[in-house]
Structure 1
Amino acid sequence: MVEQFVGKWTLTSSENFDDYMKAIGVSFATRQMGNMAKPDLLISVDDGVISMKSESTFKTTEIKFKLNEEFEETTADGRKTKTIVTLDNGKLVQLQSWDGKKTTLEREIQGGKLTAKCVMDDVVAVRTYEKAA
């Protein structure tokens, strides 16, 4: 099921992302960069290990993980989280926990596009990616 996510995806739209970054505690300066960045998302699978790499002119981050196994992640904004990724009804659901807080990133493929729904409490951001040729 993860295979449908494999490939290179380019960010084409981002809704409410600044409010989401505010909700998770990202500083103003970092949010400015985050809002300007148009990252490419590279997803691959090698022997059961999933790699998700986000590349932009500002920063490149990569996480490698196995489904349903908790791991430590340092996020692009510097948070150190305990993260677990599950596959739920065709969605890749990433749950990050840190300092008593939790946020969820739900990625799914709809109509050939990858959407990433970022949820923190009642704040929801949606980022849409299109597959690069």
Structure 2
Amino acid sequence: MNFSGKYQLQSQENFEPFMKAMGLPEDLIQKGKDIKGVSEIVHDGKHVKLTITYGTKVLHNEFTLGEEFELETMTGEKVKAVVNMEGDNKMVTSFKGMKSVTELNGDTIINTMTVGDIVYKRISKRI
């Protein structure tokens, strides 16, 4: 399944507790909690380019599935990570005690991130 497209955040669960656990400052959490971010994905074979825009903050990550790369996190930190496909419609990665699962169902992307016992869920629709 190809993930290419633009997706806008529709809803999210546990944003504030998750961002606190990730070390984001309170002022940025309050600013970011109501932003309907846009994710743009270019998925070409095993190569993926991901651009996430939250207001004025833009994150760019580019990787080849199954290969280690340097990932920029939401806190701006750079970490080594590997993204793998699970089945046809899931991209999975783990870094620094956090697991991220991105699942494509039709025109909906569900991204579930877990750190400790906090599960943050984002649901985005293709625009």
Report the 3-state secondary structure (helix = DSSP H, G, I; strand = E; otherwise coil) of the residue aligned with 1:36: coil
Distance in 1, Cα, partners of 2:32 & 2:78: 18
Unmatched segments (≥5 aa) in structure 2: none
Higher helix share: 1
Unmatched segments (≥5 aa) in structure 1: none
Q: Quote the residue 1:96 is aligned against.
A: 95
TM-score by length of 1: 0.86
Is 1:106 paired with 2:107? no
Q: Quote the residue 2:113 is aligned against.
A: 118
Q: Quote the residue 2:125 is aligned against.
A: 130
Q: Alpha-carbon deviation of 1:110?
A: 2.8
Distance in 2, Cα, partners of 1:22 & 1:74: 18
Any conservation in 2 of the 1:43–1:50 contact (CA below 8 Å)? yes
Please report the RMSD computed on the Cα atoms of aligned residues, expressed in angstroms: 1.6
Any conservation in 2 of the 1:33–1:58 contact (CA below 8 Å)? no
Any conservation in 1 of the 2:60–2:72 contact (CA below 8 Å)? no
How many residues are treated as equivalent by the alignment?
126
What CA deviation, in whole Å up to 9, does each residue of 1:65-109 have, x standing for no partner?
Answer: 001111112223222212211101231112223xxxx21111102
